[in-house]
């Protein structure tokens, strides 16, 4: 119990942004799965894989601090956004049909959830990028630092 408390106390802004990215990634994944399973042929496995990799990188990052997993999480979340943007034509067609007030290329009723997925993925990606620039753990106090040079 004390180890967990000391772990939480040692965390700084970057770690808490990472927790937010983790939560937003899970929400993004759920909303994407709701959308992708609503019609045949909308599911893109790469979006799911990239969102799972983002969540895994943020989970690992909380316990094992390094400089590479935040960059990997940001890259994976941006790649998921890119894959969704290049999604099946029915997704883009639904957006076009919504603005044209027709039903030709997609399903304009899906416009709301498509925009929700795009906004969630965009906010998750921006938060992941911003989290790369904040410290994730507290620097050791000068008196408590390991004295390896003195030996």
Going from the first residue of the chain to its last (151 residues), give the mean pLDDT of each consecutive group of 10, the final group possibly shorter: 69 86 96 88 90 94 86 95 85 87 84 93 95 80 56 45
- At 78 the pLDDT is 96
> Which residue, 62, 59, 61, 58, is CA-closest to 8?
62
Beta bridge partners of 11: 137
Q: Which residues pair with residue 137 across a beta bridge?
A: 11
Place of tokens 């935040």: 70
Total residue count of the chain as it appears in this document: 151
- H or E element that contains 24: helix 13-36
Question: Are 116 and 91 contacting, i.e. CB atoms less than 8 angstroms apart?
Answer: no
Residue with tokens 């929400």, as numbered in its chain: 27
Measured CA to CA in angstroms, residue 78 lies from 2, 35, 36, 97 at distances of: 37, 19, 18, 26
- The residues that bridge with 96 in the sheet, in sequence order, are none
Q: What is the pLDDT of residue 63?
A: 84
Q: Give the gyration radius of the chain's Cα atoms.
A: 20
Long-range contacts of 63-71 (CB under 8 A, 24+ apart): 63/7, 65/15, 65/136, 65/137, 70/14, 70/18, 70/128, 70/131, 70/132, 70/136, 71/132
Task: Give 9-18 pLDDT, tens digit per residue.
Answer: 777 788 889 8
- pLDDT in the model for residue 151: 45
**CA–CA separation, 148 and 50 (whole Å):** 41
CA gap 87, 74 in Å, rounded: 20
What does the alpha-carbon distance between residue 128 and residue 141 come to, in Å, rounded to a whole number? 28
């Amino acid at each position: 119990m004390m180890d967990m408390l000391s772990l939480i106390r040692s965390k700084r802004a970057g770690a808490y942004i990472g927790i937010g990215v983790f939560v937003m990634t899970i929400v993004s994944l759920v909303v994407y799965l709701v959308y992708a399973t609503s019609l045949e042929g909308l599911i893109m496995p790469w979006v799911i894989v990239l969102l799972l990799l983002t969540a895994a990188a943020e989970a690992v990052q909380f316990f094992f601090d390094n400089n590479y997993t935040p960059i990997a999480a940001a890259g994976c979340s941006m790649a998921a956004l890119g894959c969704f943007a290049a999604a099946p034509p029915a997704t883009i067609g639904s957006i076009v049909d919504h603005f044209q007030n027709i039903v030709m290329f997609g399903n304009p009723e899906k416009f709301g959830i498509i925009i929700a997925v795009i906004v969630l993925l965009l906010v998750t990606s921006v938060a992941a990028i911003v989290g790369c620039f904040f410290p994730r753990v507290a620097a050791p106090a000068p008196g408590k630092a390991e004295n390896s040079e003195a030996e």
